[in-house]
Amino acid sequence: MLDAHLLRRDFPIFQRKIHGKKNLVYLDSAASSQKPQIVLDAMDKLYAHSYANIHRGIHELAEEATALYENSRQKIAAFIHVGDPAQLIFTRNTTESINLVAMAWGRKFLKEGDRILLTEMEHHSNLVPWYILAAEKGIQIDFTPVGEQGFLDQDRFQELLKRSPRLVAFTHMSNVLGVINPVQEMTQRAHQAGAVVLVDGAQSVPHFPVSVEMLNADFYAFSAHKMCGPTGIGILYGKRSLLEAMDPFMGGGDMIKKVTFEGFIPNEIPYKFEAGTPAIAEAIGFGAAVDYLNNVGMQAIHDHERQITRYAWNCLNKVRGLRILGPSAEERGGVISFELEGIHPHDVSQILDSQGIAVRAGHHCAMPLHQKLNVPASTRASFYLYNTFEDVDALVEGIQTVQKVFGSIGK
């Protein structure tokens, strides 16, 4: 088992005081995680020692930077158990990865009257790109419903597959409910129905071991900033046959093999989808984050989060007037969203912040799911490898303070 107290020393941000007096209790890792010193050092070292543009120069700095950049791609491929690193495209984030598929695959291969199957628990990033494409091409969208306990209705999913969707897209883990979906089984069923499958892995890859090739999804997307890495860099995994059949997403340097006055020939994958100067330092920081997580151990991280989540669920479930959204602690990842009777989540978050506790308040980029749950907004606490039982105790004490401020205890 990992020692979260020891790991916190690797993260400089935990040395600061919030509002000059309170130790930071960071419970917002589902939005973005904190960064260990090893990631900051890797990026600084590039800029101070080996910085140059990549893939284009033959001088020593360019070759060093290129090697570091491509080495990160190989590290990330191994991290998610993908044998061919060329199937990993660097993007800005999960959102851009999904938009890339919608624009470069969907525009080319979907036509009027085709169907897409999504779910009611999706993040906006896995909804809006498909809405845009549907409006443009006359595509129909169906939704797998969320049941009372927060799980997807698998019987209804099977029924909707009978409508022969061309694409099925769903999240690996809900960023609101913490539900971990049975990706391998759902992917197999979707493939049997003839669909291409895209999985949003933004909340899964950072938190537990993931083998993309075992899951057999056609596309899989995730971001570095949720897994101890920098912002502005993400990954789209795609099966080689699909990526090679797709047209480029953007035009410009590095995605071309040849340009004439008559036209152009695109580069091979993955470079066909990496136009322009990429986020070089961020990619190298991404690789350092993978090194860090590998050193800690993904199974150890998952086991630790399960302990923290179980403890938090039990503690919060005892708070009068608090209702947890979604299933039991044993059936979720490290995310707990809740309502506090009579108090708006923004007020909850603001008072918690005064005590040095960072949580998320609002709809967490999942407005349709909140509408389905008949909840206008919620407060979310999310956990990671650096969180402790003391963090949970501070959260519970902070919520009790919120209730005292609003005079809502016992009502």
C-alpha separations of 268 from 55, 82, 84, 245, 257 in Å: 13, 18, 14, 11, 8
302 and 287, same structural domain?
Answer: no
- Answer for the pair 141, 130: CB distance below 8 angstroms, yes or no: yes
Residues 228, 244 contacting (CB under 8 angstroms):
no
Domain count, the chain: 2
Q: Last residue of some domain: 294, 319, 339?
A: 294
211 and 318 in a single domain? The answer is no
Same domain, 273 and 318: no
Q: Are residues 150 and 285 in the same domain?
A: yes
Is residue 7 one of the residues assigned to a domain? Answer: no
Q: What is the DSSP letter of 208?
A: S
The confidence score (pLDDT) of residue 125 equals 98
Asked if residue 35 is part of any domain, the answer here is no
CA-angle at 312, arms to 309 and 314, nearest 5°: 110
Per-residue pLDDT reduced to its tens digit, 43-59: 999 999 999 999 988 99
Q: Distance between CA atoms of 256 and 259, rounded to whole angstroms?
A: 7
Phi then psi for residue 360, to 5 deg, are -105, 140
Write down the pLDDT at residue 288.
98
Does residue 219 have a pLDDT over 80?
yes
| 329 CB-near residues (< 8 Å, 6+ apart) | 306, 309, 310, 312, 313, 314
Whether 170 maps to a domain, the answer reads yes
364/328 Cα distance (integer angstroms): 20
- Which of 232, 259, 294 is the last residue in one of the domains? 294
pLDDT for 409: 60
Q: What is the mean pLDDT of the chain?
A: 96
Confidence (pLDDT) at 20: 87
Rounded to an integer, the average pLDDT of 174-192 is 98
CA atoms of 211 and 81, how far apart (whole Å):
5
Mean pLDDT of the region 302-313:
98
Q: Which residues does 176 contact at the CB level (< 8 Å), separation at least 6?
A: 121, 325, 326, 335, 337, 364, 366, 369, 370, 378, 380
DSSP letter at 248 equals: P
DSSP of 108-124 = HH--TT-EEEEETT--G
Is residue 24 in some structural domain? no
Token couple for 142: 């169906």
Q: Confirm if 204 and 173 have CB atoms less than 8 A apart.
A: yes
- Go through 231-261 and write b for each residue having 16 or more CB atoms within 10 A of its CB, e for each that does not: bbbbbbbbbeebbeebebbeeeebbbeeeee
The radius of gyration of the chain's CA atoms, rounded to the nearest angstrom, is 22
Assigned domain for 197 exists: yes
> Catalytic positions, please?
365
pLDDT tops 90 at residue 7: yes
User: Which residues contact residue 3 at a Cβ distance below 8 angstroms, ignoring those fewer than 6 apart?
Assistant: none
Q: Which residues pair with 36 in a beta bridge?
A: none
Range of the domain at 304: 297-406
pLDDT tens readout for residues 317-359: 999 999 999 999 999 999 999 999 999 999 999 999 999 999 9
Q: What is the pLDDT of residues 249-299, one digit of tens each?
A: 999 888 898 999 999 999 999 999 999 999 999 999 999 999 999 999 999
- 3-state DSSP assignment of residue 337: strand
Q: Are 168 and 139 in contact (CB under 8 A)?
A: no
Q: What secondary structure does DSSP assign to 37-80, as a single string? A: HHHHHHHHHIIIII---SSS--SHHHHHHHHHHHHHHHHHHHHT
Over the stretch 103-157, which tens digit does the pLDDT of each residue have?
999 999 999 999 999 999 999 999 999 999 999 999 999 999 999 899 999 999 9
User: What was the pLDDT predicted at 411?
Assistant: 44
- Specify whether 86 is located in the same domain as 130: yes
Residue 265 is classified by DSSP as: E
384, HSE (Cβ side, Cα atoms, 13 Å): 27
Say what percent of the chain tops pLDDT 90: 95
206, part of any domain: yes
78, 187: one domain? yes
- Which among 294, 320, 335 is the end of a domain? 294
CA distances from 253 to 73, 153, 250, 276 (A): 19, 45, 10, 5
Is 410 a residue whose pLDDT tops 60? no
CA distance 367 to 370: 5
Q: pLDDT by residue (tens digit) across 56-109?
A: 889 999 999 999 999 999 999 999 999 999 999 999 999 999 999 999 999 999
